[in-house]
Structure 1
């Protein structure tokens, strides 16, 4: 089993910070595996309940009585968004245990619809719950398991895809994953949303990986209205399958691009949506550069963690930064992504860094050597910069 970097953070939150933790992440990303591992080692024991299993739902017919009977144990509830009525029950139990001096480590809640689950839980568990996000396996986690960056980029970070016995079985798994989301999850979260149209949008976003969100163009391609495209995109973002990367919008006296950039978050899903099975298939396709850019950006955001706010920067006169990381309201790190093994920088990147007075400047490329290039920038490999971000 691949060790997940979020595990010690999750254990610390449960043991010393809050009574409950909500662990958010798309299906099949490893939430259940991690939760079962933590539960197996939890002092006092643990109970695991899956809200997709009828037998487990029946155990919660009298949820208050059942959950109170598990006092002293960690209760793991998987796919919690299927049982929104539990949040009110959990609030009462947590408050009673707090009054008795039992403050930490009661509940671990797993879910795959981030915005909806946060809305449900925040209404009843405010001040009682922490939120953590687990994404697909990142470059540092893959490295500890001796998996190379090329395989991670090709297959993506979902464990079953990454660890498959060959590129063909990996692609088959990702195709099934896409079909499962469209046939099972979309009807659950948005029963009136046409599945075929959402699948076409997903594929269109893969073709336009890293492009500016143009709702009118997408709407024309789908034969729907722009507000409908917004609803479709909102759902994909909520399910943590798509990222809307916001433009930085501070006052620098420049005309700034205001539309967000849109990425399918997992590179393996990008390749599956476009029927790209092998390394050569990817390299021979126009999406190769944008796919690598999205792969790097998603890994760096995940490794940087919630302390940093991610943006991109683009002006109408050509100054651009692929990934801008801000902390404390101040842009601190500028990152350009180049698929070339000998990267060169455009003048626009230096102009953008000067506009924002950013001193930490990097160009990420598929190599391992770190060396200086133009505009005060360091060329650096993805794993090396991800490690710096995680330690920052």
Structure 2
């Protein structure tokens, strides 16, 4: 039986059950089950439906989009449903969608529309401006530990190493095949096709090196100047910062900023690099499972990165904090609530700065994950969050 991701299906069912005539836009990384979930949803949709994808060798244009939309309008009976996958591949898609959707509203058509995209870049290409007030956004995150355990029967160590791309699961018994799948079928598609399709890349070699370097430093604070020094192809700091932004927009690596009460310090701080899925780290590192879990220092780094990724994937506002040699792994801000998270895993841990941070921000609450004095074990965190 195919696993059903309720993180996608439940909000979709709830939204389409409401009378409001708004677009449903699903956004998330490649290969996390958006298309599978949509086909599961369509199987149970009792009304007429049309599915189309813009993921084609030659990207379709707005004429294709309009014709597909018209075909859906011709469906008779009930409440027809139109689904368009990889919508960001259509040039000037948002303006066309606005026109077609507004026509449907004026004519009081009952057609409902779901759009899927595999890049947050589409948010920067007209959705917020052209479609303001016309859509509901459903974020489709990377797979969680509980989902991987339920779908694949994984233990925690397997999740920390393999990360949870469902398409790669059949290859985990052959590390080289699994690594090649992640690198070639997944990463290469994103950095070689998806991102260049919506954003011009003037220095492709530098762009690839930036992603590789970011994945080599999971859960580490690294300045852009230091990154520039480790890259073979040189570019400007602005180019590097832009490439990190594009990589983050594709849900690959998130540059987490330093926590500060002053916004300008947050924006100018050196980023702490969090791979949104541990598979990106382990596949590019190239060492198999058994060898990796024996390296307790690196294992600790995987745990910290996975905790950070889980917080980001859950939509939390995540920062880190440091002052000289004192560091707090993650700061989560929920309105006026501040959570200071310290993670202890692996053979050792950096000089903790939790006490210093709590003295400076007495309103903050400490959350210790892993270790003898933990509030939560690592497994408890991945099961229940904070």
After TM superposition, the score normalised by the length of structure 2 is: 0.84
Q: 2:230 aligns with which of 198, 216, 221?
A: 221
Alignment partner, residue 353 of structure 2: 348
Give the SS at the match of 2:125: helix
Call closer, same or farther: CA 1:78–1:312 in 2, change over 3 Å: same
For residues 156-197 of structure 1, the C-alpha deviation after alignment (integer angstroms, 9 at most, x for no partner) is 121122353514232231122233334333432344433322
Q: Do the aligned residues in 2 keep the contact of 1:211 with 1:262 (CA within 8 Å)?
A: yes
Could you tell me how far 1:127 is from its partner in structure 2? 0.5
Could you tell me how far 1:86 is from its partner in structure 2? 3.6
Alignment partner, residue 329 of structure 2: 322
Q: 2:244 aligns with which of 228, 233, 258?
A: 233
Give the SS at the match of 1:109: strand
Give the SS at the match of 2:258: coil
Q: Distance in 2 between matches of 1:158 and 1:221?
A: 29
The unaligned stretches of length 5 or more in structure 2 are: none
Q: Do the aligned residues in 2 keep the contact of 1:271 with 1:282 (CA within 8 Å)?
A: no
Q: Distance in 2 between matches of 1:76 and 1:123?
A: 22
Give the SS at the match of 2:115: strand
Across the aligned residues of Structure 1 and Structure 2, the Cα RMSD in angstroms comes to 3.2
Could you tell me how far 1:236 is from its partner in structure 2? 0.6
Equivalence map 1:146-295=2 (5 Å): 146-168=153-175, 169-176=177-184, 177-222=186-231, 223-250=234-261, 258-281=269-292, 283-284=294-295, 287-295=298-306
Q: Do the aligned residues in 1 keep the contact of 2:259 with 2:319 (CA within 8 Å)?
A: yes
For residues 217-269 of structure 1, the C-alpha deviation after alignment (integer angstroms, 9 at most, x for no partner) is 22233222211211211211111111011222116xx9999322112221111
Call closer, same or farther: CA 1:211–1:18 in 2, change over 3 Å: farther
Q: 2:90 aligns with which of 74, 83, 86?
A: 83
Q: Distance in 2 between matches of 1:274 and 1:170?
A: 13
Could you tell me how far 1:336 is from its partner in structure 2? 1.4
The unaligned stretches of length 5 or more in structure 1 are: none
For residues 89-146 of structure 1, the C-alpha deviation after alignment (integer angstroms, 9 at most, x for no partner) is 332343344456668x811111122033343222221101122221221112123233
Alignment partner, residue 52 of structure 2: 49
Q: Do the aligned residues in 2 keep the contact of 1:155 with 1:167 (CA within 8 Å)?
A: no
Alignment partner, residue 3 of structure 2: 2
Q: Distance in 2 between matches of 1:193 and 1:162?
A: 34
Q: Distance in 1 between matches of 2:66 and 2:266?
A: 58
Q: Do the aligned residues in 2 keep the contact of 1:20 with 1:107 (CA within 8 Å)?
A: yes
Q: Distance in 2 between matches of 1:171 and 1:273?
A: 8
Alignment partner, residue 129 of structure 2: 123
Call closer, same or farther: CA 1:166–1:193 in 2, change over 3 Å: farther
Q: 1:381 aligns with which of 373, 377, 384?
A: 377
Q: 1:296 aligns with which of 284, 288, 307?
A: 307
For residues 7-45 of structure 1, the C-alpha deviation after alignment (integer angstroms, 9 at most, x for no partner) is 212322233266212211122121111111112212313
Alignment partner, residue 114 of structure 1: 120
For residues 286-313 of structure 1, the C-alpha deviation after alignment (integer angstroms, 9 at most, x for no partner) is 64332221112112333xx33x422222
- Shifted more, 290-299 versus 93-102: the winner is 93-102
For residues 38-61 of structure 1, the C-alpha deviation after alignment (integer angstroms, 9 at most, x for no partner) is 122123132111002379958546
Q: Distance in 2 between matches of 1:325 and 1:361?
A: 10
Could you tell me how far 1:212 is from its partner in structure 2? 2.2
Could you tell me how far 1:68 is from its partner in structure 2? 2.9
Q: Do the aligned residues in 1 keep the contact of 2:221 with 2:273 (CA within 8 Å)?
A: yes
After TM superposition, the score normalised by the length of structure 1 is: 0.83
